[in-house]
Amino acid sequence: MRPFMGAGCQFLAVATLGMALGSVALPAAAAEEHPGRVVFVSKGCATCHEERAVLQAPHLSVLRKDRSLFELTAGMWNHAPLMWANLPEPGLKWPRLSSREMAVLGSYLNGSEPKDPPPDRGHGQLVLVSKGCLTCHALGGPRGTAARDLAGKFSLDSDAAWAAAMWNHAPTMIAMAAEKGIAYPSIEWKELVDLVGFLRANDKHR
Residues in contact with ligand HEC by CB under 6 A are 43-45, 47-49, 54-55, 57-58, 63, 72, 75-76, 79, 82-83, 86-88, 95, 105, 131-133, 135-137, 146-147, 150, 165-166, 169, 172-173, 176-177, 180, 185, 195
Q: Among residues 107 and 135, whose Cβ is nearest to ligand HEC? A: 135
Instruction: In angstroms, give the least distance from the CB of 103 to ligand HEC.
Output: 13
* C-alpha distance from residue 68 to each of 71, 103, 116, 187, 203 (Å): 5, 11, 6, 15, 23
Q: How far is the CB of 177 from ligand HEC (least distance, A)?
A: 4
List own/partner pairs for 80-83 with CB under 8 A and 24 or more apart. Answer: 80/167, 80/170, 80/171, 80/174, 80/184, 81/170, 81/174, 81/184, 82/55, 83/48
> Least distance to ligand HEC from the beta carbon of 184, Å?
8
Give the span between the Cα atoms of 161 and 14, in whole angstroms.
Answer: 44
At residue 66's C-alpha, the angle toward residues 62 and 69, to 5°, is 105
Q: Which is nearer to ligand HEC, 11 or 96 (CB)?
A: 96
What is the closest distance, in whole angstroms, from the C-beta atom of residue 141 to ligand HEC in the complex? 16
Nearer to ligand HEC, 21 or 111 (CB): 111
Residue number with CB closer to ligand HEC (18 or 142): 142
- Find, among 173, 145, 158, the residue nearest to 80 by Cα: 173
Q: Is the CB of 21 or the CB of 146 nearer to ligand HEC?
A: 146
* Three-class secondary structure of residue 53 per DSSP: coil
**Residue 190 Cβ vs ligand HEC, minimum distance, rounded to whole Å:** 14
CA distance 39 to 101: 7
Task: Select 21 or 129, whichever has its Cβ closest to ligand HEC.
Answer: 129
Least CB distance from residue 156 to ligand HEC, whole Å? 6
The alpha carbon dihedral of 166, 168, 171, 177 has a sign of negative
